[in-house]
Amino acid sequence: MKRNFKVFLVLGTRPEAIKLAPVILELRKRCEFDCRVCVTAQHREMLDQVLQVFDIVPDLDLNLMRPDQTLSGLTSRAIETLDGVFAVEKPDLVLVQGDTATCFSAALTSFYHHIAVGHVEAGLRTGNLYSPWPEEANRVLTSRLATLHFAPTEVNSQNLLREGIEPAKIFVTGNTVIDALFIALEKIKSSPPDIPGLPAGITASWNGVRMVLITGHRRENFGQGFESICQSIAELANRFADVQFVYPVHLNPNVREPVMKILGSGGKGNIHLIDPLPYFPFIAMMHRSTLILTDSGGIQEEAPSLGKPVLVMRDTTERPEAVSAGTARLVGTDFRRIVMETSRLLTDKDSYDCMAGKTNPYGDGQTANRIVRICGEFLQTEKYSG
Ligand code: UD1
Ligand code: UDP
């Protein structure tokens, strides 16, 4: 007997939407799945930006974001609300992604309802529960609760095996971020997007001009870390007046406050603080950039495919593949180190060329396809065994 399997995808933030969009698009192509998208809206504007570009309309929107929300407040609201949703909807499988409060809350609530969980982007570890905080804990806890573990790389699979996860439940699939990146590259090739927040045509007038793209939002960098990051950017913009520094600033007030205070004057007219960019314009800016300064996880994965050097403003990374490949380097949040490493890349062609090679350690663009096939096989066996 054939039936539709009800697969629930629970997502809440910008990176979850980017990385689950290819899975949603793939599930929707296949008639054996009844694919439901449930957004916690842990992020509001930044989530909506992504859903819109991928043409995804959520089936359920829990609208949980509050200004300057606390981790406990958000997590308890998510668990409480998802509890009611799962009781009514009774999914056959819940898919979560990554390491956010939404991911962990949905995995825990699924467990309470005896619903199998598939974890997309499983097995990333720094080994330090406080870095990144609280994401490392969210990942470890989600792995304890999940039934299917979709590990992007062999390194991630080994991390899970070391924690005693059954080998038969681990699948090395690549990372769906590369599927999303390929969709974006195709799109921007056919119609180059405007960059909201920058004067029309300005990027065209930067022909031949170097550009440093910056993002940052990690909670463990709040306070001193962010101040130091911003002071480094101010110093770099002063030293390199011929280089443009473009910084789409995350909407978290703990990020915006120091960024606006320290960089708001715009340097020598070469610092551009703008709102978070929609996904396709952001990829266009990555493509256009000379190098990237970031503490983001997803950007560490996308940049190697674009051949862009990344200086990671963190002390640890759960994504060692790009560092091993030579395209990413950890620089922490120390003023002198950020200024020195960025200056080196801007002045020493050999150093730059060493980091700018294209590699693809995170996938081939077919990850969503693999994940959906494995989900189908699992549900067939699970539901019809015996
Ligand atoms: C969250 C995730 C982090 C992920 C990041 C991606 C947790 C604990 N953190 O961090 O793992 O790397 O998203 O960006 O799950 N805000 C808005 N509009 C938005 C988004 C955020 O106003 O669209 C503001 C709100 O004031 C909100 C605050 O930012 O309360 C913090 O959002 P939250 O999702 O809790 O934390 P992030 O730092 O964004
Ligand atoms: N991104 C975006 N607009 C921006 C900044 C980033 O679309 O203004 C994309 C980026 O390409 C990557 C993802 O957002 O795919 C990373 O999200 P973020 O840095 O917020 O979270 P993390 O990956 O650190 O969890």
Mean of per-residue pLDDT scores for the chain: 96
135 lines ligand 1 (CB under 6 A): yes
CA distance 329 to 53: 31
Please report, rounded to a whole number, the percentage of residues in the chain having pLDDT higher than 70. 98
Q: What is the pLDDT of residues 205-253, one digit of tens each?
A: 888 999 999 999 999 999 999 999 999 999 999 999 999 999 999 999 9
> Residue 157: what pLDDT?
98
Q: Which of 217, 272, 288, 319 is catalytic?
A: 217
68 lines ligand 1 (CB under 6 A): yes
- Structure tokens, 208: 């031949």
Stretch 318-336: mean pLDDT: 96
Quote the ligand 2 centre to 114 CA distance (angstroms).
Answer: 32
Statement: residue 384 has pLDDT above 80: no
Please report, rounded to a whole number, the percentage of residues in the chain having pLDDT higher than 90. 92
Q: Ligand 2: which residue has its CA nearest to atom 19?
A: 296
Ligand having the closest approach to the CA of 96: 1
16 lines ligand 1 (CB under 6 A): no
125 is catalytic: no
Give the closest residue to 128 by CA, choosing from 137, 119, 118, 117: 137
Q: How many CB atoms lie within 10 A of CB 265?
A: 11
Q: Ligand 2: which residue has its CA nearest to atom 6?
A: 282
> Residue 226: what pLDDT?
96
Statement: residue 162 has pLDDT above 50: yes
Stretch 318-329: mean pLDDT: 96
In this prediction the pTM is: 0.97
> Residue 386: what pLDDT?
39
217 is catalytic: yes
User: Which numbered atom of ligand 1 lies nearest the CA of 49?
Assistant: 23
